[in-house]
């Protein structure tokens, strides 16, 4: 026995030597990563060198009497770790390493799968991290948006249960970006009081996703009541607190260890290969080294028409960009229309990818980049970047798109009308804007009461207008003027629109209200006073609703287009421009309607252009002729104010059309269309 103990001590010393050698190798790998960071032309991964090295090691193994397959397998894993470590090192440089404590949010409590994935992702740096659990996904995301934490880790997809809807919805509506992903192998266990036989268990609790993944096992426990819980580890903690042998939880073995409970049965998932992909989100994107194989995630909303999806995806094919995921999900508050979540291999700032995304934006209603981040869901073979980094004398090829053609670039490149670019057409319900279509929007300046907005909607419907307008948040010059009914007014406007089958448009003032208003309104208006509220414009770019952008009272045409560019750059391509009059020396009217802005804008941009003669005139008697002149100038639509009883209106009564005047306007617009048809014939 003494001889065996001596041999074991010698084995332990040898293992310590191996660890020391690995430690030295890791240090050398970090120095290699530093050298590659200083030399952008150096390859991150040299597969020819790897093959040569493994072949040499196999030969040396044979010469030493070792199993060459065993040695190759060991060094194969070491090389893989080295590449991963270099990637992490370069990524850390891109993120800007800090000595300060990093705060990471997750949903659940200690031992939850999100907590385990967070520890895995931050790896060696996890000792410098504070992991903070939140009750739900929205709370964790809100903490990151508020700056209370630096990162949030969210489950996105499971190989058994599929996508996690709540996470996708948060990614769509939040301002966070994906900066990383992690994969956790899920090994569900039944956790309970040690020594409890399965036959005694009467209650099993876990997160709904875990219960879904263990359906076959639960079918074998018909005596049990199944209960959904906020997360897996919380279910385990409750078993510990109750110490009830009839209660059990489905969770990880790590959660059982954290709370001092026993694993009653292992591997109870429906499939043995059970993985969950998590995403790591932050407030700011990370510019990763282009040599790191990356993935770019997108949200795409297309027109609801034949071939629209194909047209949006074709630029990826033309650019030889590999799409690894395409998933459709219902578009919020738009029954039977869909948005798409897409993952593609490649860096978002690669010239080939950039050109493809620009081409997609031309065809999409909304294209939002959720993030660009290193790939963790690929096997050992990995994935190469979309294009190799070329020497200066050999520029990387790019897609031939209008944006890449020579010529002086405009500061509003997404809004600009380039050669061959078609007019953008935006469909809202039955209303069409742009591309030769014309739409009339009418309704009161503000929602004042249920009776008033319902009567307004009836009048608008009977006049043949396409959309109902109504303000619920009113930016008034005087603090003593009527400021609108707020959220109660929005509910009334929505109800009136539904009753009379009219899409609705209303103004939004605060960036924090954009997503909430977008859940109910069909189009959001950004008024003249907020045309250069850049935080509001950026948030509007992140929502999936069309935006009506009004020209500022003292803004140039270029400034209007640059404001639109903020929205387009956020991924929302559904922008309608509105000329509503500008301030000049003339005071005979409220403002001066700049109708020549219509043909100028039609020349400069592909976006639809409509006119608001009500705010320009300020007097109802001159609104109809100005509206007809706007149509003659080539406007794609009109937005006018109307009221059942303008003399009693709480705001802008003098410029609200009466019912007969609204009907007159609609009739004269129809007559202009007939005249145009006869002229064309």
- Could you list the active site residues? 276, 278
Dist CA 497 CA 444 (whole Å): 13
The DSSP secondary-structure symbol of 1 reads -
Q: Closest Cα partner for 182 from 233, 114, 133?
A: 114
Q: Which residues pair with 153 in a beta bridge?
A: 106, 280
Q: Closest Cα partner for 372 from 291, 285, 312, 292?
A: 285
Dihedral sign computed on CA atoms, order 432, 434, 439, 443 = positive
Q: Which residue has the tokens 């001159």?
A: 622
Instruction: Check if the beta carbon of residue 342 is closer than 8 Å to that of residue 298.
Output: yes
Dihedral sign computed on CA atoms, order 267, 271, 272, 273 = negative
Q: Closest Cα partner for 567 from 526, 602, 605?
A: 526
Dist CA 211 CA 250 (whole Å): 8
Buried b (16+ CB within 10 A) or exposed e, 374-398: bbbeeeeeebebbbeeeeeeeeeeb
Q: Which residues pair with 259 in a beta bridge?
A: none
Using left for φ > 0, alpha for ψ between -120 and 50, and beta otherwise, residue 124 falls in alpha
Dist CA 46 CA 69 (whole Å): 22
**Which 3-state string (H, E, C) describes 632-665?**
HCCCCEEEEEECCCHHHCCCCHHHCECHHHHHHH
The DSSP secondary-structure symbol of 446 reads B
Tokens, residue 184: 């956790």
Tokens, residue 165: 């809807």
């Amino acid at each position: 026995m003494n001889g065996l103990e001596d041999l074991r001590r010698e084995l332990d010393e040898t293992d310590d030597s191996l660890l020391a050698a690995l430690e030295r190798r890791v240090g050398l790998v970090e120095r290699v990563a530093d050298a590659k960071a200083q030399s952008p032309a150096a390859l991150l991964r040299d597969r020819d060198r790897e093959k040569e090295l493994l072949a040499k090691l196999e030969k040396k193994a044979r010469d030493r009497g070792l199993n060459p397959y065993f040695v190759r397998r060991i060094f194969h894993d070491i090389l893989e770790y080295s590449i991963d470590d270099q990637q992490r090192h370069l990524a850390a440089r891109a993120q800007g390493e800090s000595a300060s404590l990093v705060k990471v949010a997750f949903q659940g409590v200690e031992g939850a799968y999100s907590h385990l994935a967070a520890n895995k992702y931050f790896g060696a740096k996890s000792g410098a991290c504070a992991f903070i659990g939140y009750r739900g996904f929205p709370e964790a995301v809100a903490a990151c948006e508020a700056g209370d934490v630096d990162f949030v880790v969210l489950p996105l997809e499971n190989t058994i249960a599929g996508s996690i809807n709540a996470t996708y919805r948060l990614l769509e509506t939040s301002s966070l970006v994906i900066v990383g992903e992690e994969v956790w192998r899920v090994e569900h266990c039944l956790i309970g009081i040690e020594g409890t036989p399965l036959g005694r268990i009467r209650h099993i609790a876990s997160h709904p996703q875990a219960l879904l993944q263990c359906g076959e096992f639960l079918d074998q426990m018909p005596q049990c009541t199944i209960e959904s819980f906020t997360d897996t580890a919380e279910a385990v903690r409750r078993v510990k607190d109750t110490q009830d042998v009839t209660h059990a939880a489905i969770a990880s073995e790590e959660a059982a260890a954290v709370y001092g409970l026993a694993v009653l049965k292992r591997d109870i998932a429906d499939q043995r290969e059970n993985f969950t992909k998590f995403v790591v989100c932050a407030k700011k994107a990370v510019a990763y080294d282009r040599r790191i194989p990356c993935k770019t995630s997108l949200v795409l909303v297309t027109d609801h028409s034949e071939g629209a999806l194909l047209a949006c995806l074709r630029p990826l094919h033309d650019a030889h960009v590999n799409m690894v995921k395409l998933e459709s999900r219902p578009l919020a508050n738009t029954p039977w229309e869909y948005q798409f979540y897409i993952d593609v291999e490649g860096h978002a700032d690669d010239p080939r990818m950039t050109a493809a995304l620009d081409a997609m934006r031309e065809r999409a209603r909304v294209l939002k980049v959720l993030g660009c981040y290193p790939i963790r869901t690929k096997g050992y073979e990995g994935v190469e970047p979309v294009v190799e980094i070329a020497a200066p004398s050999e520029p990387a090829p790019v897609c031939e798109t209008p944006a890449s053609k020579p010529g002086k670039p405009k500061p509003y490149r997404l809004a600009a009308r380039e050669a061959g670019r078609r007019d953008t057409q935006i469909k809202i319900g039955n209303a069409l804007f742009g591309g030769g279509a014309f739409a009339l929007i009418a309704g009161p300046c503000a929602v004042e009461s249920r009776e008033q907005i319902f009567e307004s909607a009836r009048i608008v419907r009977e006049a043949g207008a396409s959309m109902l307008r109504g303000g619920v948040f009113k930016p008034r010059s005087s603090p003593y003027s009527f400021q609108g009914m707020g959220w109660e007014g929005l509910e009334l406007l929505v109800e009136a629109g539904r009753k009379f089958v009219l899409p609705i448009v209303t103004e939004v003032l605060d960036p924090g209200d954009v997503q909430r208003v977008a859940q109910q309104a069909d189009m959001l208006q950004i008024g003249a006073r907020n045309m250069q509220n850049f935080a509001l414009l950026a948030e509007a770019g992140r929502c999936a609703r069309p935006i009506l952008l009004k020209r500022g009272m003292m803004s140039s045409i270029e400034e209007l287009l640059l404001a639109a560019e903020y929205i387009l750059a956020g991924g929302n391509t559904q922008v309608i421009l509105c000329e509503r009059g500008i301030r000049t020396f003339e005071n005979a009217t409220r403002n001066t309607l700049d109708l020549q802005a219509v043909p100028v804008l039609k020349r400069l941009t592909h976006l639809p252009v409509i006119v608001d003669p009500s705010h320009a005139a300020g007097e109802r008697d001159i609104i109809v002729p100005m509206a007809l002149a706007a149509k003659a100038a080539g406007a794609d639509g009109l937005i006018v104010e109307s009221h059942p009883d303008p003399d009693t209106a709480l705001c802008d009564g003098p410029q609200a059309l009466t019912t007969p005047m609204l009907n007159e306007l609609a009739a004269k617009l129809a007559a202009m269309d007939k005249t145009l048809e006869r002229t064309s014939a």
